[in-house]
């Protein structure tokens, strides 16, 4: 029964990452293959890296951030031009989604050279200029590190497929056919089955994600040594940490046994938090992280607070990226869309806030490159401004390190696709095949994509109301959302009441009151589908955070012990905030933050 529950939980939460539950290569400087294998050495951290708890992190998905040279593709020079914008927003750290050379089958999450920069984005010199520009402004820089898999164009993989006795062959999972077919029954999360046949070798290779993303064999110590070399290379260059992609998948069960059949995620129990995950993470920490003043945040799609207590909290990684709060409008997957449930959203935050308090540290986010835009999902496009601000308030007042995804700060919304021809993501196309099996085709599938796909996060950032939203002077690689005439940075900079200016204020308020940034968490009215209300406490400071998720006016009664007329109202999204001592009427998506000093 316990096992069944675990399987169900894995199945449900995998989906997001995988879509349906399923979801220029630079010249490779021939590197000498490592000959010696070092054993992990026991070390203590040399630095106090607790500064990561005070950061606000901004995620840049470079291809769609800003194009400086008119080729229609965002680039690092474009990022350089906007460093002051980020600083002014209140950002303390930039996380770059992968900017390495890559054939872009999964937009950079298929790396062809870990030591370079994608020429479409710039050169290593441009990267260094951006990093220095960020550091000069007091901002940190974090790289995305994808070590579960490489691109099939990576030189290691190209070598590994040459022959069974090639020194790189064992860097990947190559297996002979079993009974003339796949070596096991695993599904790929992104593209069909998890095995792809190679005619030349007469063997299959494992790809948990797309075919162009073969899994690295982390059990091979040479692979781990190379991973540590990559980490040191970037840290020595000056980066301040890593966001580690699907880090919970890097250890596979030996023997790669068949999995319990699941729709489109069969086999996941044999690589999610696999047998050597802890030991490999420990090795990376002791051999690398402990020697640098840096932080790590690891993506663990199925993680629960208990996992953070094991693998996060500075023991192995500093923070985990959980998917819990991102599944409040989907069953099994974003694609099996159900109406947003505030109760589910609140439960996710409550679990993580309470279980990690005093023991670990949370990564707080409501958008990234893998999900549709949050106002379109959890808020209301009709109450765009109000709900955008309430959503911001709902998570920015929690304890942890907040992450903001590009465009989120101006309230970017989902776009509209008239046809799948306008789409770009491997997951969209894979899901088309998967959903066709259950009869969801044509317009019905397109409707689903329009509601739930991660395509929406990848439209170009809307900078102003000029052609192509000021993203590029050329032809944008991906369609700009037609709403850019009203939703854009320039317009919002001028409007004191904009979502952008609200984010700026909310980040300042959060830093000004330790109850908000570091306090303990107590929730009220957990069963309400309309109100999210929580108390934060730190020393003798208390905060009361109130967010309405209702499209109508609703009455609100403050929890016992709180007098609304005596609190200092430090943040609100309506121009006034009438209230009696204990009660008030909350207008659609109204939010308020009160502070009480003891």
The catalytic residues are 245, 299
Binders of ligand NOJ among residues 107 to 126 (CB under 6 A) are: 109
Binders of ligand NOJ among residues 146 to 165 (CB under 6 A) are: 146
Burial of 315 (0-12, 13-18, 19+ CB in 10 A): middle
Per CB under 6 A, the list member of 82, 92, 106, 222 interacting with ligand NOJ is 106
Alpha-carbon distance of 378 to 345, in angstroms, equals 9
User: CB-wise, 106 or 535, nearer to ligand NOJ?
Assistant: 106
Alpha-carbon distance of 355 to 204, in angstroms, equals 43
Number of residues this chain uses to bind ligand NOJ (CB under 6 A):
10
Binders of ligand NOJ among residues 184 to 213 (CB under 6 A) are: 209
User: CB-wise, 247 or 591, nearer to ligand NOJ?
Assistant: 247
* Minimal distance, residue 271 CB to ligand NOJ, in Å: 13
User: CB-wise, 223 or 499, nearer to ligand NOJ?
Assistant: 223
- State the Cα angle at 467 between 465 and 468, rounded to 5°: 95
* Minimal distance, residue 4 CB to ligand NOJ, in Å: 27
* Minimal distance, residue 454 CB to ligand NOJ, in Å: 7
Q: Read off the tokens for 43.
A: 């070390």
Binding mask 249-288 for ligand NOJ (x = CB under 6 A): ----------------------------------------
Alpha-carbon distance of 178 to 172, in angstroms, equals 18
Alpha-carbon distance of 506 to 571, in angstroms, equals 7
Per CB under 6 A, the list member of 82, 92, 244, 245 interacting with ligand NOJ is 245
Is 193 strand, coil or helix?
A: strand
The backbone region for 391, taken as left when phi is positive above 0, alpha when psi lies in -120 to 50, beta otherwise, is alpha
Alpha-carbon distance of 499 to 520, in angstroms, equals 27
| 308 makes contact with ligand NOJ (CB under 6 A) | no
* Minimal distance, residue 366 CB to ligand NOJ, in Å: 15
* Minimal distance, residue 556 CB to ligand NOJ, in Å: 37
Which residue's beta carbon is nearest to the bound ligand NOJ?
109
The sign one gets for the Cα dihedral 397, 532, 381, 20 is positive
Q: CA torsion 314→517→301→60, rounded to 10°?
A: -100
Which position has the token pair 């319990």?
260
* Minimal distance, residue 18 CB to ligand NOJ, in Å: 9
Q: Are 543 and 551 in contact (CB under 8 A)?
A: no
Binders of ligand NOJ among residues 130 to 149 (CB under 6 A) are: 146
User: CB-wise, 19 or 519, nearer to ligand NOJ?
Assistant: 19
User: CB-wise, 346 or 458, nearer to ligand NOJ?
Assistant: 458
- First-to-final CA distance of the chain: 49
Binders of ligand NOJ among residues 492 to 551 (CB under 6 A) are: none
Alpha-carbon distance of 360 to 352, in angstroms, equals 10
Alpha-carbon distance of 196 to 213, in angstroms, equals 11
* Minimal distance, residue 483 CB to ligand NOJ, in Å: 24
Give CA separation, 581 vs 312, 565, 591, in Å. 42, 5, 17
Binders of ligand NOJ among residues 356 to 415 (CB under 6 A) are: 369-370
Per CB under 6 A, the list member of 93, 246, 281, 364 interacting with ligand NOJ is 246
Packing angle of the helix pair 221-237, 277-287 (nearest 10 deg)? 40
> Strand ranges (DSSP E) for 234-388?
241-244, 295-299, 319-321, 330-331, 333-337, 363-364
* Minimal distance, residue 98 CB to ligand NOJ, in Å: 8
Residues making contact with ligand NOJ (CB under 6 A):
17, 106, 109, 146, 209, 245-246, 299, 369-370
């Amino acid at each position: 029964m316990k096992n069944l529950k675990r399987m169900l939980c894995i199945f449900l939460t995998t989906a997001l990452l995988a879509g349906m539950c399923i979801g220029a290569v630079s010249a490779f400087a021939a590197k000498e293959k490592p000959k010696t294998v070092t054993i992990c050495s026991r070390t203590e951290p040399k630095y106090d890296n607790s500064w990561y708890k005070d950061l606000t992190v901004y995620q840049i998905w470079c291809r769609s951030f800003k194009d400086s040279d008119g080729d229609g593709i965002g680039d690092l020079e474009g990022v350089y031009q906007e460093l002051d914008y980020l600083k002014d927003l209140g950002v303390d750290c930039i996380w770059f989604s992968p900017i390495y050379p890559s054939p872009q089958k999964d937009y950079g999450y298929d790396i062809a050279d870990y030591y370079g920069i994608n020429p479409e984005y710039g050169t290593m010199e441009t990267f260094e200029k951006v990093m220095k520009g960020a550091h000069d402004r007091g901002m940190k820089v974090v790289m995305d590190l994808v070590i579960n898999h490489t691109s099939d164009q990576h030189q290691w993989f190209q070598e590994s497929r040459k022959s069974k006795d090639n020194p790189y062959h064992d860097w990947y999972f190559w297996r002979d056919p079993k009974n003339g077919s796949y070596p096991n029954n695993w599904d790929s999360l992104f593209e069909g089955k998890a095995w792809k046949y190679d005619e030349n070798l007469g063997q299959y290779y494992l790809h948990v994600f797309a075919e162009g993303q073969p899994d690295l064999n982390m059990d091979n110590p040479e692979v781990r040594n190379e991973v540590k070399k990559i980490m040191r290379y970037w840290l020595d260059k000056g980066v301040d940490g890593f966001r580690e992609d699907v880090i919970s998948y890097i250890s596979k069960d030996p023997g790669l046994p068949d999995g319990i059949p699941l729709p489109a995620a069969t086999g996941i129990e044999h690589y999610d938090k696999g047998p050597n995950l802890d030991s490999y993470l420990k090795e990376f920490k002791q051999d690398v992280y402990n020697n640098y003043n840096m932080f790590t945040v690891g993506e663990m799609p199925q993680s629960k607070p208990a996992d953070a207590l094991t693998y996060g909290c500075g023991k192995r990684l500093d923070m985990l990226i959980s998917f819990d709060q991102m599944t409040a409008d989907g069953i099994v997957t974003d694609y099996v869309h159900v109406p947003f449930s505030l109760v589910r959203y609140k439960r996710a935050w409550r679990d993580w806030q309470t279980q990690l308090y005093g023991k670990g540290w949370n990564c707080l986010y409501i958008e990234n490159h893998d999900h549709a835009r949050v106002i379109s999902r959890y808020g209301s496009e009709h109450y765009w401004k109000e709900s955008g601000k309430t959503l911001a308030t709902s998570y920015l007042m929690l304890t942890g390190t907040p992450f903001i995804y590009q465009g989120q700060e101006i309230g970017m919304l989902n776009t509209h696709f008239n046809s799948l021809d306008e789409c770009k993501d491997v997951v969209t196309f894979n899901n088309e095949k998967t959903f066709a099996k259950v009869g969801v085709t044509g317009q019905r599938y397109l409707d689903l994509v329009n509601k739930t796909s991660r395509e929406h996060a990848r439209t170009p950032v809307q900078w102003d109301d000029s052609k192509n939203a000021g993203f590029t002077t050329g032809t944008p690689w991906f369609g700009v959302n037609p709403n850019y005439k009203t939703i854009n940075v320039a317009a919002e900079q001028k409007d004191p009441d904009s979502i952008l200016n609200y984010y700026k204020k909310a980040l300042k308020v959060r830093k000004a009151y330790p109850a908000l940034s570091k306090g303990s968490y107590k929730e009220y009215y957990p069963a309400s589908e309309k109100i999210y209300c929580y108390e934060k406490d730190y020393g003798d400071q208390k905060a009361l955070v109130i967010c309405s998720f209702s499209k109508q006016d609703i009455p609100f009664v403050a929890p016992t012990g709180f007098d609304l007329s005596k609190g200092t109202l430090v943040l609100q999204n309506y121009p006034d905030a009438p209230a009696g001592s204990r009660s008030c009427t909350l207008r659609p998506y109204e939010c308020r933050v009160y502070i009480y000093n003891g």
